[in-house]
Structure 1
Amino acid sequence: MSAPQRYLPALLSIYIAFVFIQSLFFKFIDAPETQLIFGTLDAWAAGVFGVEGLFAPGGVFSAKVIGSLELVAAIALLLGLFVPGLRMLNALGALLAFCIISGAIFFHLFTPLGIVVGDEQVAGVRQGEVATEGGLLFFMAVGVWIASAILIGMGRDRLLSLIGRN
């Protein structure tokens, strides 16, 4: 087994788990950044589809629901990486991460959320300065999307065996 085949899954899995886990604190305490993001998405959904509350606390796609799914994906990725009998979980975690992050990228690109998320109130900026996160959330999402796609490709045989196609 070559070095990339040996270490790439670990690097990609740890990257995805890191991105997901570091954001959990913000999602679970309903931080101002989280309120801005999910509030923007909720207002968009209400305006476009006439459905209020999808992204609000208690909604189907609330920050806590998404955060919980991210936590499950991170745990599956890491268990599948470090527990030999659970290798299948790595591929399943990558698939879940891919689905979650595809949604995040969609919402960044096709809603008022945008690529660069920012707000003076959230950033704590005074006197009219404009502050954003500079697109960091979007670019981390793209990194997770690429990493999870690679892991899905590397684990495709395991995933196909789940549906009886080897």
Structure 2
Amino acid sequence: MTRLKTWLPHAIALIASLVFLDSLRFKFTNAPETQVIFGKLDAWAASFGADGLFAQTGLFSQYVIGTAELFAATLLLIGIHPALRRIQAVGAVIALAVMSGAVNFHLWTPLGVDPNNDGGGLFFMACTVWLTSIGLIVIRRHELAAIGKGLAVTFLPAGSVSATTHKHPHAPKEAFQ
């Protein structure tokens, strides 16, 4: 069981990263499959006045989404190193955010679950990364809590954060007074 706890997060990170990295060859080369997907999304967005939102220079273009996927994959893989577990947790959060968008756009827009007639393979892979990201977030929840506590101590006014609940074992005592 100990081996499973040790290796499962790495396997999850590797699966999600491989899916992301594989999809980049389509997004960054402007492959026809990518043009179909983002073209359908842009036409849908234009129908309610957000023309260009998914276009090649749009806020949610294939290049923006691909860059977020590359960033998430990088953090997931770097986080395999024991000293960088927190980075893996952040990668999982980014992966969840990107894939939440992907899954929802497949389900609730004219894009559908099989936009490229691949039998729903693309949608299946999005769901796979979405689920593995949730699993990794659950596994790395303590790391995420530590990040949240550190951000709270850093950005919230003194006195608004309880020193006892946000104490880090290696931080100087005066940092929490």
Give SS of 1:113's match.
Answer: coil
- Larger-Rg structure: 2
Pairwise CA distance, 1:159: 0.6
Pairwise CA distance, 1:99: 0.4
Q: Is 1:99 matched up with 2:97? A: yes
* 110, 113, 119: which one aligns with 1:112: 110
Q: Is 1:59 matched up with 2:64? A: no
Cα distance in 2 between the residues matched to 1:6 and 1:86: 14
Map 1:77-96 to 2 at 5 A.
Answer: 77-81=76-80, 83-96=81-94
Cα distance in 1 between the residues matched to 2:101 and 2:82: 30
Give SS of 2:56's match.
Answer: coil
Structure 2, unaligned stretches of length 5 or more? 150-164, 167-177
Deviations along 1:22-73, one digit per CA (max 9) or x if unpaired, are: 01011011110000000000000110x2110000001000000000000000
Letter aligned with residue 116 of structure 1: D
Give SS of 1:163's match.
Answer: helix
Cα distance in 2 between the residues matched to 1:150 and 1:70: 18
Cα distance in 2 between the residues matched to 1:163 and 1:93: 15
* 143, 149, 158: which one aligns with 2:128: 143
Letter aligned with residue 139 of structure 1: F
Cα distance in 1 between the residues matched to 2:22 and 2:148: 33
Q: Percent identity?
A: 49
Give SS of 2:79's match.
Answer: helix
CA RMSD across the alignment:
1.2
Structure 1, unaligned stretches of length 5 or more? 119-131
Letter aligned with residue 14 of structure 2: I
| Runs of 4+ residues over 2 Å off in structure 1 | none
- Count of residues paired in the alignment: 151
Q: Give the conservation status (yes or no) of the 8 Å contact 1:117–1:134.
A: no
**So what's the TM-score if we normalise by structure 2?**
0.82
Aligned to 2:157: none
Aligned to 1:26: 26
Letter aligned with residue 109 of structure 1: L
**So what's the TM-score if we normalise by structure 1?**
0.88
Single out whichever of 100-109 and 85-94 deviates more from structure 2: 85-94
